[in-house]
């Protein structure tokens, strides 16, 4: 067992996983080369001084060591996703003339085009004027639904807390919710094990069901986030029962991870159209995955052109649609740069979530997703079991952040949420959950939802403080 603060020197890291600290490397490079490499490392100060050799507490360090191959697999996916992002930038001929100028039509068009290509959509609107993910999802739902339309059907159990008032599950009348406009709501409950209830879904569509809402990430529910394959299967089932039913995927926390087939497109003569297996719209926030931790605000809606335009008309005004949205040059630059960085930042967040699962489950806490199972978003939930532990966890995370470390987070009421919620967001962008953060509603089973992070090593350090505190 390694001890924290031990003064024993460790071997310089040369990719020798499993080598005992201080052991002589045992690969077959000629001795001359090995010693030349050591000398160079020392000259460049790459060899960690003894007191820095073990920056993490032993439990965290052991978990990080054991996750080497999972981290490598994440890196591969990051490289794959980065290739896709780069191609989209190149195809849209992004130059400083569009990425850094304020408020230019060319800039907006290029950003929409890049985003649409990345997510495989016919069209997209990416704007600072979306207040949040909830706002973007609301614009998408209102794009589809009209007064008197019978049903919005939530396919994966209850939707995220802030959508309750949008749909009208809570406070239905007088505030412009869908129910206020006469749009009814039903939901397909989850199966006992927290997965989609395929039997129930196969008989749930009615001819008048106008829209199905699929929430990819778990939100504040204790359930698995959905894989792309599950979402595709759900869309197939929905469209088979009612081809006219429009599908909206709440893609919060799923973007820039595994997703490309969520929106399928096929080329026909001079035109794009979607196969019946694709979602019609996806929507989410830019201070989650696709903002790459540096977009300061905003959201997106992407999918079929006709419906993106309808969502844009809801955001701005009928007749204005996509053709507006003043954005300062610095923000435009952050949108482009954030989108470029997003695969890497999402990869780091996923590594952080693998580490949290490993460490917290070894301490006996229930975690969702389980350690080492494939991930479908950047969220890692940990069931803490009581209010005090949830508060202590969030306080430890806040104390360990770069911003507001002196602040003690307190649970309180927040617009859009029925429960009291606690947030630990020591982030540069206020409220950003692509940066390292955690939060949770003060209700049974007192789960904390962890997400984000620009580098997994920050989670490794934070976990040390968490383990000391709960």
Ligand X SMILES: Cc1ncc(COP(=O)(O)O)c(C=O)c1O
Does 133 engage in binding with ligand X (CB under 6 A)?
yes
The verdict on 257 binding ligand X (CB under 6 A) reads no
Binding of residue 353 to ligand X (CB under 6 A): no
In this chain, which of 123, 134, 255, 398 binds ligand X, going by CB under 6 A?
Answer: 134
Nearer to ligand X, 92 or 166 (CB): 166
SS in 3 state form for the chain?
A: CCCCCCCCCCCCCCCCCCCCCCCCCCCCCCHHHHHHHHHHHHHCCCCCCHHHCCCCCHHHHHHHHHCHHHHHHHHHHHHHHHHHHHHHHHHCCCCHHHHCCCCCHHHHHHHHHHHHHHHCCCEEEEECCCCCHHHHHHHHHHHHCCCCCCEEEECCCCCCCCHHHHHCCCCCCCCCCCHHHCCEEEECCCCCCCCCCHHHHHCCCCCCEEEEEEECCCCCCCCCCCCHHHHHHHHHHHHHHCCCCEEEEECCCCCCCCCHHHCCEEEECCEEEECCCCCCEEEEECCCHHHCCCCCCCEEEEECHHHHHHHHHHHCCCCCHHHCCCCCHHHHHHHHHHHHHHHHHHHHHHHHHHHHHHHHHHCCCCEECCCCCCCCCCCEEEECCCHHHHHHHHHHHHHCCCCCCCCCCCCECCCCCCCCEEEECCCCCCCCCCCCEEEEECCCCCEEEEECCCCHHHHHHHHHHHHHHC
Q: How far is the CB of 215 from ligand X (least distance, A)?
A: 5
Nearest residue to the partner ligand X, using Cβ: 133
Residue 160 interacts with ligand X (CB under 6 A): yes or no: yes
Q: Which is nearer to ligand X, 209 or 215 (CB)?
A: 215
Which of residues 252 and 355 has its CB atom nearest to ligand X in the complex?
A: 252
Q: Which of 81, 123, 132, 344 binds ligand X (CB under 6 A)?
A: 132
Nearer to ligand X, 63 or 282 (CB): 282
Q: Which stretch binds ligand X (CB under 6 A): 58-66, 150-158, 249-257, 358-366?
A: 249-257
Among 123, 128, 162, 289, binds ligand X (CB under 6 A): 162
Q: Does 259 bind ligand X (CB under 6 A)?
A: no
Question: Judged by CB under 6 A, how many residues of this single chain contact ligand X?
Answer: 12
Q: How far is the CB of 381 from ligand X (least distance, A)?
A: 11
Q: Is 285 in the site for ligand X (CB under 6 A)?
A: yes
218-237 positions binding ligand X, by CB under 6 A: 219
With binding defined as CB under 6 A, does residue 217 bind ligand X? Answer: yes
**Nearest distance from residue 318's CB to ligand X, in Å?**
24
315 binds ligand X (CB under 6 A): no
459 belongs to the binding site for ligand X (CB under 6 A): no
Applying CB under 6 A, which of residues 67, 245, 252, 354 lies at the interface with ligand X? 252
Nearer to ligand X, 209 or 451 (CB): 451
- Stretch binding ligand X (CB under 6 A), from 132-140, 230-238, 332-340, 360-368: 132-140
Span of 43-51, 126-134, 184-192, 341-349 interacting with ligand X by CB under 6 A: 126-134
Residues that bind ligand X (CB under 6 A): 132-134, 160, 162, 215, 217, 219, 250, 252-253, 285
């Amino acid at each position: 067992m390694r001890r924290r603060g031990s003064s024993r020197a460790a071997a310089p890291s040369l990719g020798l996983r499993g080598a005992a600290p201080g052991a002589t490397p045992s690969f077959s490079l000629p001795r001359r080369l090995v010693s030349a490499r050591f000398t160079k490392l020392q000259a460049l100060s790459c060899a960690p001084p003894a007191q820095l050799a073990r920056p993490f507490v032993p439990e965290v360090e052991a978990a990080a060591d054991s996750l080497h191959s999972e981290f490598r697999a994440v890196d591969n996916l990051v490289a794959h996703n980065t290739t896709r992002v780069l191609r989209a930038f190149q195809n849209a001929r992004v130059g400083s003339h569009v990425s850094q100028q304020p408020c230019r039509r060319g800039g907006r068009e290029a950003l929409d085009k890049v985003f649409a290509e990345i997510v495989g959509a016919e069209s997209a609107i990416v704007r600072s004027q979306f207040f949040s993910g909830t706002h973007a999802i609301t614009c998408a739902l209102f794009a589809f639904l009209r007064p008197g339309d019978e049903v919005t059907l939530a396919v994966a159990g209850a939707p995220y807390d802030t959508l309750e008032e949008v749909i009208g599950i809570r406070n239905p009348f007088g505030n412009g919710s869908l129910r206020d406009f006469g749009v009814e709501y039903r939901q397909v409950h989850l199966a006992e094990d927290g997965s989609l209830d395929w039997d129930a879904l196969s008989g749930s569509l009615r001819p008048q069901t106008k829209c199905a809402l699929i929430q990819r990430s778990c939100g504040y529910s204790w359930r698995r986030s959905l894989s792309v394959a599950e979402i595709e299967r759900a869309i197939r089932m929905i469209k088979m029962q009612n081809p006219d039913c429009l599908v909206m995927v709440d893609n919060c926390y799923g973007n820039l991870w595994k997703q490309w087939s969520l929106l399928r497109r096929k080329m026909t003569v001079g035109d794009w159209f979607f196969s019946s297996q694709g979602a019609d719209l996806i929507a989410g926030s830019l201070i989650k995955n696709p903002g790459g931790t540096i977009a300061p605000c905003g959201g997106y809606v992407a999918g079929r052109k006709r419906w993106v335009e309808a969502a844009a008309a809801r955001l701005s005004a009928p007749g204005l649609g996509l053709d507006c949205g003043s954005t300062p040059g610095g923000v435009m630059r952050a949108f482009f740069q954030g989108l470029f960085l997003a695969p890497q930042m999402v990869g780091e967040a996923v590594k952080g979530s693998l580490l949290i699962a490993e460490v917290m489950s070894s301490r006996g806490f229930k975690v969702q997703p389980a350690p080492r199972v494939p991930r479908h978003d950047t969220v890692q939930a940990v069931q803490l079991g009581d209010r005090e532990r949830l508060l202590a966890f969030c306080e430890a995370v806040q104390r360990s952040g770069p911003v507001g470390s002196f602040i003690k987070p307190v649970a309180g009421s927040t617009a859009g949420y029925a429960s009291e919620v606690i947030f630990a967001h020591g982030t540069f962008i206020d409220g950003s959950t692509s940066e390292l953060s955690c939060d949770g509603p003060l209700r049974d089973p007192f789960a904390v939802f962890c997400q984000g992070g620009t580098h997994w090593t920050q989670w490794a350090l934070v976990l040390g403080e968490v383990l000391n505190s709960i």
